[in-house]
Amino acid sequence: METKKVAFYTLGCKLNFSETSTISRSFNDEGFQRVDFKEKADIYVINTCSVTENADKRFKTIVKQAQKVNPEAFVAAIGCYAQLKPEELADVNGVDLVLGATEKFKITDYLNDLSKNDFGEVHSCEIEEADFYVGSYSIGDRTRAFLKVQDGCDYKCTYCTIPLARGISRSDTMENVLKNAQEISQKGIKEIVLTGVNIGDYGKGEFGNKKHEHTFLDLVTELDKVKGIERLRISSIEPNLLKNETIDLVSKSRAFVPHFHVPLQSGSNELLKRMKRRYMRELYVDRVSKIKQVMPHACIGVDVIVGFPGETDELFLETYNFLNELDISYLHVFTYSERDNTEAAEMDGVVPNNIRAKRSKMLRGLSVKKRRAFYESQLNTDRVVLFEGENKQGYIHGFTENYVKVKAPWNPELVNTLHKVKLTKIDEDGLVRFNFKEALVH
């Protein structure tokens, strides 16, 4: 019998990538062969995202791509958008199966004979049923893996559909996280990025209830001891959950790197209240100051939303000036888009799309300036670089522990190795050049 082939396409966040990877391993266990999405496959699985409008639109294009390669292929949609709008996805021409938040991890149970359906078949739970935890990690490249430690969210931010798409906050057991980390290290991967929906909430729901057996601090303390992992990175953590003890631990840690990504969303307290965020801007300043006090070379990334309902020119400038004065390294700028079943979608003070776009451009310009200033502050310092695996137009890229992106002429022997370097100058493309000092053999 011929081996069936499966291909995956992932939209959205690192968490989705880690889950796609885990789901793909369940196909391997069933004897499927994984191929690239551009190749001919018997089944195409699309892991969807609901965070931006763009991700919704791209879904249809991706289904068309799959059908072009193999019109007879079975197409399945999973992920956040599949949980929120299953019927809408099932109506897309060519879609055979739509699975919600709890069903996606058992996808192989829903595949019968892989023959095309006349209509998309939907298996989607009520989101209240998404109360169990499925651990996962992704191994996309040889250099780093995304390790999921937590899922779901109990916060009720007025713009966000994640709690509707992923359910309540729940965590992996400490034992399982450590086991996954060890599995990753045995595959020769040097860096683990911790991921989840709200990872600072780690420990909640570890035993199916709200009781915390462990905290995020316990988690990072134990992970720091896992042998073979050279680097650990915290992907994104809420400012109100990033405690001094965690910052201190990272500053003294063996493996945790001085790179934090801390969502802000707005520099205006008025808008933070409208968004139902759980802090004011003063707390954010305090977190940045604490990080820089114990790790002056730390890289700090910020998420910010522009065009939220009620954002006047004055309030936008408040955010712009706040960020301009803050000692941060780069921004991820999101243009607000209305999502069904969220409080913000009903709010007045709607910002016209052309103004949202203009504000987004201004903040992206500020991000370029901030990154450049941060890179300049790191010149003539010694750093450790982990090199990536791709030949990009004759160059190899890598990242220092504090997230400075460097480049050197392509050399396959550098792939997935750590080297001590001295950062020397910023190239025309904004990446940093360096001189080698020594190879770090582990």
- Decide if pLDDT at 208 tops 60: no
CB 278: neighbour CB atoms within 10 A? 14
Share of the chain above pLDDT 70, in %: 92
Exposure string for 112-138, b = 16+ CB within 10 A, e = fewer: eeeeeeeebebbbeebeebeebbbbbb
Q: What is the pTM of this model?
A: 0.82
In single-letter form, the type of residue at position 236 comes to S
d(CA 427, CA 414): 20
In single-letter form, the type of residue at position 319 comes to T
Secondary structure of residue 152 in the 3-state scheme? coil
- Decide if pLDDT at 138 tops 80: no
- Decide if pLDDT at 207 tops 70: no
Task: Name which of 137, 262, 151 is nearest 204 in CA terms.
Answer: 151
What's the confidence (pLDDT) of residue 201? 93
| pLDDT one-digit tens code per residue, 226-276 | 988 999 999 899 999 999 999 999 999 999 999 999 999 999 999 999 999
What strands, in cross-sheet order, belong to the sheet with 299-306? 259-265, 299-306, 330-335
- Decide if pLDDT at 377 tops 70: yes
Mean pLDDT of the chain: 91
- Decide if pLDDT at 442 tops 60: no
What's the confidence (pLDDT) of residue 131? 67
Among 16-20, 313-317, 321-325, 407-411, where is mean pLDDT lowest?
16-20
- Decide if pLDDT at 337 tops 80: yes
What's the confidence (pLDDT) of residue 127? 63
d(CA 216, CA 221): 9
Phi and psi at residue 121, in whole multiples of 5°? -90, 135
pLDDT band at 121 (very low <50, low <70, confident <90, very high): confident
- Which residue has tokens 């500053």? 251
What's the confidence (pLDDT) of residue 134? 72
More confident residue, 117 or 298: 298
- Decide if pLDDT at 57 tops 90: no
Most confident by average pLDDT, 104-113, 151-160, 210-219, 321-330? 321-330
- Decide if pLDDT at 441 tops 70: no
Report the interhelical angle of 174-186 vs 216-223 (nearest 10°): 30
Return the CA Rg of the chain: 22
- Decide if pLDDT at 206 tops 60: no
What's the confidence (pLDDT) of residue 144? 86
Mean pLDDT of 277-283: 97
CB 212: neighbour CB atoms within 10 A? 16
| pLDDT one-digit tens code per residue, 21-42 | 989 988 988 899 999 999 999 9
What's the confidence (pLDDT) of residue 209? 59
Task: Name which of 371, 380, 218, 402 is nearest 292 in CA terms.
Answer: 402
- Which residue has tokens 């082939």? 5
Most confident by average pLDDT, 37-51, 124-138, 273-287? 273-287
Most confident by average pLDDT, 7-16, 73-82, 93-102, 369-378? 369-378
pLDDT band at 113 (very low <50, low <70, confident <90, very high): low
Q: Which helix (H) or strand (E) holds 333?
A: strand 330-335
pLDDT band at 124 (very low <50, low <70, confident <90, very high): low
Token duo for residue 63: 């289904």
- Decide if pLDDT at 312 tops 80: yes
CB 420 within 8 A of CB 437: yes
Exposure string for 68-86, b = 16+ CB within 10 A, e = fewer: eebeebbbbbbbbbbbbbb
* C-alpha distance across the termini of the chain, in Å: 44
d(CA 118, CA 96): 8
| pLDDT one-digit tens code per residue, 59-96 | 999 999 999 999 999 999 999 888 898 888 999 999 99
More confident residue, 106 or 70: 70
Task: Name which of 183, 174, 197, 173 is nearest 19 in CA terms.
Answer: 197
CB 286 within 8 A of CB 247: no
Alpha helices in 267-311 (DSSP H): 269-275, 281-294
Mean pLDDT of 376-394: 95
pLDDT band at 120 (very low <50, low <70, confident <90, very high): confident
